[in-house]
Amino acid sequence: MKMITLTLFTLLAFSTNAKSSVDSNAEFPAGTGTTSDFSVQAFSHPLSGTRGALRREFQVGNSFFNTVWVATPASTTARDGLGPIYNAVSCSSCHFKDGRGRGLPEEDGVTDVSLLFRLRVKTLAESKEVIPHPVYGGQFQPQGVPGVPGEGISTVRFEKIQIQYHDGFFAQLLKPIYSFLALNYGPFTEATIASPRVAPQMIGLGLIEAIKESDILKNEDPFDANGDGISGRANRVYSIVNQSITLGRFGWKAGKANLIEQNAAAFNGDIGITSPLFPEEECTQTQAACLNLKTAEDITIERLNAVTLYTQLLSVPARRNFSKPEVIKGQKVFHQISCASCHTPSYITGDSPIEGLANQRIYPYSDFLLHDMGDGLADDLQEYFNEDEATTREWRTPPLWGLGLIPTVNGHSRYLHDGRARSLEEAILWHGGEAQKSRDAFMQLPSTDRSNLLEFLNSL
């Protein structure tokens, strides 16, 4: 009898202890495929264990990701078809080293190539509906091939916002104000909404694609039934591949359902490379020179598939300083001030034909749902549906994995959807709307807790 009681007691003690200690799997955010290179190449490796035909296909995809496309006609038909209008000549000019674009310049001036703008025009005043811009289309493409005018130049000026903590420390936020110059197809009207987006890091995307839809949808709380002030909603978008409305997962507003469509849309919208999924060039009916130079199927489905496999296999580096006391304390703070209510730490992926993607315990720190993030981050102060079900005030919670390595890989520490935050601290201070309570709680923390939280984020 005594023996049994003792065993039970030990078991209980063990389970309480396990609950309060750190989850050791979290050191390997991509599960068995997690990599451990923390150099400038940290984001460029396939899931570890990728071998044989899969690895070769990854290399093929990698080469197309880095291909510099040229205008037609060209001496090389292997990589022509650029434009007629475009943002950049390669995927890697924006996703440099498979990492994050900087988006914005240090001071007022022309925006970086890695920042693009989605364009919409408000229709009726009372309706929240928008249409793509009738002249400029759904995206602003600054460049044109010879003989085709690019659409113009985007510039930014910054308004300084001074912030003071309760303990006397200061921070300064830079609010970007965008303008469009040298508009070659006429001025923008008042009703134009330009939504800025920076190129995000490319890591762990196949694992995100493999998360079961039900595991994302179960965190939706559109009417805030649990009363915590947070009301995540899924974006639902038309998928060309499924030919039906599907859960959106990719992009800053979860506007794309899967990687093949995201990649095909990037080829088409950002580089002017058409494919079987997007056979039409981006030219609108009023862009005559562009229409005259249209080409069909610049890239085959085989090549698009190779790039897609590449984007599915890019791994996530292991955590650094995982057991450092400050990092562990920072992780507690992260949960205490409800950062985890949107930045959902972990999932187990569903089935996948690729072993490294199937049934993996992963740690992306996102619910992949849309949240109203307040006036400061909104595309427009009024609410319009400017990307499927996502409004001008909403953004998809971005995954936080790999954030601490962006300075190493990309040589900058710019965060948020347009790169306006110059540090992780500034990124937190920009949180408003549904995240206002969390942000205010951050500001009330003792400075050691604030810096522990930042150490935790840097360890991801």
Residues that bind ligand HEC (CB under 6 A): 65, 87-88, 91, 93-95, 113-114, 116, 197-200, 205, 230, 250-253, 255, 259, 262-263, 266-267, 270-271, 307, 311, 334, 337-339, 341-343, 371, 373, 377, 395, 397-398, 400, 403, 415-417, 424, 427-428, 431, 434-435, 438, 442, 457
Report residue 91: phi and psi, to 5°.
Answer: -60, -45
Cis amide leading into 446 (omega within 30): no
**Which x/- pattern over 295-324 shows residues binding Ca ion (rule: CB under 5 A)?**
x--x--------------------------
Q: How far is the CB of 125 from ligand HEC (least distance, A)?
A: 26
What pairing do the DSSP bridges indicate for beta strands 236-239 and 192-198? Answer: unpaired
52 or 341: CB nearest ligand HEC: 341
The HSE-up count of residue 20 (CA atoms within 13 Å, CB side) is 5
Does residue 137 touch Ca ion according to CB under 5 A? Answer: yes
224 or 375: CB nearest Ca ion: 224
**Secondary structure in 3-state letters for 73-140:** CCCCCCCECCCCEECCCCHHHHCHHHCCCCCCCCCCEECCCCEEEEEEEECCCCCCCEEEECCCECEC
DSSP string, 21-81: S--GGGGSTTGGG-B---STTTT-PBPTT--HHHHHHHHHHHHHHH---BPSS-S-STTB-
Q: How far is the CB of 107 from ligand HEC (least distance, A)?
A: 21
Q: How far is the CB of 460 from ligand HEC (least distance, A)?
A: 9
204 or 255: CB nearest Ca ion: 255
Separation between Cα atoms, residue 218 and residue 27, nearest integer Å: 25
Task: From 49-57, 135-143, 418-426, 451-459, give the range in contact with Ca ion by CB under 5 A.
Answer: 135-143
174 or 299: CB nearest Ca ion: 299
Give the DSSP letter of residue 267: I
Among 23, 167, 228, 375, binds Ca ion (CB under 5 A): 228
Answer with the entry of ligand HEC, Ca ion, none that 373 interacts with (C-beta below 5 to 8 A by kind).
ligand HEC
Separation between Cα atoms, residue 128 and residue 125, nearest integer Å: 8
Answer with the entry of ligand HEC, Ca ion, none that 435 interacts with (C-beta below 5 to 8 A by kind).
ligand HEC
Is 207 in a helix, a strand, or coil?
Answer: helix
Q: How far is the CB of 90 from ligand HEC (least distance, A)?
A: 7
Separation between Cα atoms, residue 378 and residue 376, nearest integer Å: 6
Q: How far is the CB of 41 from ligand HEC (least distance, A)?
A: 18
Answer with the entry of Ca ion, ligand HEC, none that 295 interacts with (C-beta below 5 to 8 A by kind).
Ca ion
Does residue 142 touch Ca ion according to CB under 5 A? Answer: no
Answer with the entry of Ca ion, ligand HEC, none that 391 interacts with (C-beta below 5 to 8 A by kind).
none
Q: Which amino acid is at 295?
A: T
**Residue 195 to residues 173, 317, 324, 379: CA-CA distances in angstroms?**
19, 30, 39, 6
Task: From 81-89, 167-175, 210-218, 391-399, give the range in contact with Ca ion by CB under 5 A.
Answer: 81-89
Query: Do residues 343 and 397 touch, judged by C-beta distance below 8 A?
Result: yes
Task: From 2-10, 178-186, 271-279, 415-423, give the range in contact with Ca ion by CB under 5 A.
Answer: 271-279
**Secondary structure in 3-state letters for 325-375:** HHHHHHHHHHHHCCHHHCCCCCEECCCCCCHHHCCCEECCCCCCCEEECCH
Query: Do residues 198 and 103 touch, judged by C-beta distance below 8 A?
Result: yes
Does residue 230 touch Ca ion according to CB under 5 A? Answer: yes
Answer with the entry of Ca ion, ligand HEC, none that 136 interacts with (C-beta below 5 to 8 A by kind).
Ca ion
Strand partners, 395: 371
Among 29, 33, 81, 150, binds Ca ion (CB under 5 A): 81
Query: Of 269, 297, 264, nearest to 282 (Cα)?
Result: 269
172 or 292: CB nearest ligand HEC: 172
Q: How far is the CB of 151 from Ca ion (least distance, A)?
A: 5
Q: How far is the CB of 28 from ligand HEC (least distance, A)?
A: 20
Query: Do residues 83 and 148 touch, judged by C-beta distance below 8 A?
Result: yes
Residues of this chain that bind Ca ion (CB under 5 A)? 81, 136-137, 141, 221, 224, 226, 228, 230, 272, 295, 298
